[in-house]
Structure 1
Amino acid sequence: MRRWLALCVGVGLLSGCGGRPEDSPTPVASVATGAVSAPSSTVTPAGPLGTAAYQAELTRIDQVLAITSQRLTRVRAAEGLSAAMTALAQSLNTIGIRLAALTVTSRLSAVHELLQERIGVAASRLTSSAGQTEDDARCGGAPYTAQKVQRQLRADLGTALDQLARLNLRFGTTLPDPGPAPKDERPANGEILLRRGADGMGRLKITNGMAKDVAISIVADGRPPSSPQIMIYLQATKSTTVNQIGGAYRLYFKSGSDWDATHHKFRAGCTFKKFDQTFTKNQGWQVNLQPRPGGNADTTEVEAY
Structure 2
Amino acid sequence: MKRCAALCAGVGMLAVLAGCSGTPEETPVASSPSTIGTTSAPAPAASVPPAGPLGSAAYQAELTKLEQSLAGPLRTLTRVRTAEGLTEAMTTLADSLDAASSQLADLTVTRRLTAVHEVLQDSLGSAAETLSNSDRTEANARCGGVAYTSQKVQRQLRADLSGATVPLDRLGLKFGGTLPDPGPEPKPVRPSNGAIVIRSGPTGTGRLKITNGTANDVAVSIVTDGKPPAKPHVMMYIQAGKAATISRIGGAYHIYFKSGADWSPTRRQFGEDCSFQKFEQAFGRNESWQVNLEPTLGGNAKTTEVEAY
Q: Which residue of 1 aligns with 2:14?
A: 5
**Distance (Å, rounded) in 2 between the aligned partners of 1:217 and 1:35:** 47
Alignment of structure 1 residues 124-273 onto 2, 5 Å: 124-129=129-134, 131-273=135-277
Asked if the contact 1:204/1:243 (under 8 Å) is kept, the reply is yes
Asked if the contact 1:254/1:273 (under 8 Å) is kept, the reply is yes
RMSD value, Cα: 2.5
Summarize the Cα distance change of 1:293–1:41 in structure 2 as closer, same or farther, 3 Å threshold. farther
Scaled by the length of structure 2, the TM-score of the pair is 0.82
Asked if the contact 1:9/1:284 (under 8 Å) is kept, the reply is no
1:304 to 292, 301, 308: 308
**Distance (Å, rounded) in 1 between the aligned partners of 2:163 and 2:296:** 45
Query: Does residue 119 in structure 1 map to residue 124 in structure 2?
Result: yes
Asked if the contact 1:47/1:104 (under 8 Å) is kept, the reply is yes
**Distance (Å, rounded) in 2 between the aligned partners of 1:192 and 1:74:** 34
- Secondary structure in 1 aligned to 2:278? strand
- Pairwise CA distance, 1:231: 0.7
Runs of 5+ consecutive residues of structure 2 not aligned to the other structure: 1-10, 22-38
Q: Which residue of 2 aligns with 1:21?
A: none
Structure 1 letter corresponding to 2:155 = R
**Distance (Å, rounded) in 2 between the aligned partners of 1:253 and 1:37:** 45
**Distance (Å, rounded) in 2 between the aligned partners of 1:218 and 1:293:** 25
**Distance (Å, rounded) in 1 between the aligned partners of 2:196 and 2:84:** 34
Asked if the contact 2:40/2:99 (under 8 Å) is kept, the reply is no
Q: Which residue of 2 aligns with 1:15?
A: none
Identical counterparts, % of pairs: 59
**Distance (Å, rounded) in 2 between the aligned partners of 1:35 and 1:9:** 60
- Pairwise CA distance, 1:233: 0.9
Structure 1 letter corresponding to 2:213 = G
**Distance (Å, rounded) in 1 between the aligned partners of 2:241 and 2:83:** 31
- Secondary structure in 2 aligned to 1:104? strand
Scaled by the length of structure 1, the TM-score of the pair is 0.83
Asked if the contact 1:3/1:295 (under 8 Å) is kept, the reply is no
Asked if the contact 2:45/2:103 (under 8 Å) is kept, the reply is no
Asked if the contact 1:4/1:294 (under 8 Å) is kept, the reply is no
**Distance (Å, rounded) in 1 between the aligned partners of 2:118 and 2:298:** 55
Query: Does residue 101 in structure 1 map to residue 110 in structure 2?
Result: no
1:55 to 60, 70, 93: 60
Runs of 5+ consecutive residues of structure 1 not aligned to the other structure: 13-33
- Pairwise CA distance, 1:295: 4.1
**Distance (Å, rounded) in 2 between the aligned partners of 1:229 and 1:3:** 28
Structure 2 letter corresponding to 1:213 = D
- Secondary structure in 1 aligned to 2:203? coil
Summarize the Cα distance change of 1:42–1:211 in structure 2 as closer, same or farther, 3 Å threshold. farther
- Pairwise CA distance, 1:152: 1.2
**Distance (Å, rounded) in 2 between the aligned partners of 1:122 and 1:269:** 22
- Pairwise CA distance, 1:58: 1.2
Q: Can you list the C-alpha shifts for 1:251-273, whole angstroms capped at 9, x where unaligned?
A: 11112333332342334433321
**Distance (Å, rounded) in 1 between the aligned partners of 2:232 and 2:93:** 41
Structure 2 letter corresponding to 1:105 = T
Q: Which residue of 2 aligns with 1:64?
A: 69
Structure possessing the higher radius of gyration over alpha carbons: 2
Summarize the Cα distance change of 1:62–1:121 in structure 2 as closer, same or farther, 3 Å threshold. same
Asked if the contact 2:190/2:263 (under 8 Å) is kept, the reply is yes
1:80 to 78, 85, 97: 85
Summarize the Cα distance change of 1:35–1:76 in structure 2 as closer, same or farther, 3 Å threshold. farther
Structure 1 letter corresponding to 2:131 = L
In the alignment of these two chains, the number of paired residues is 283
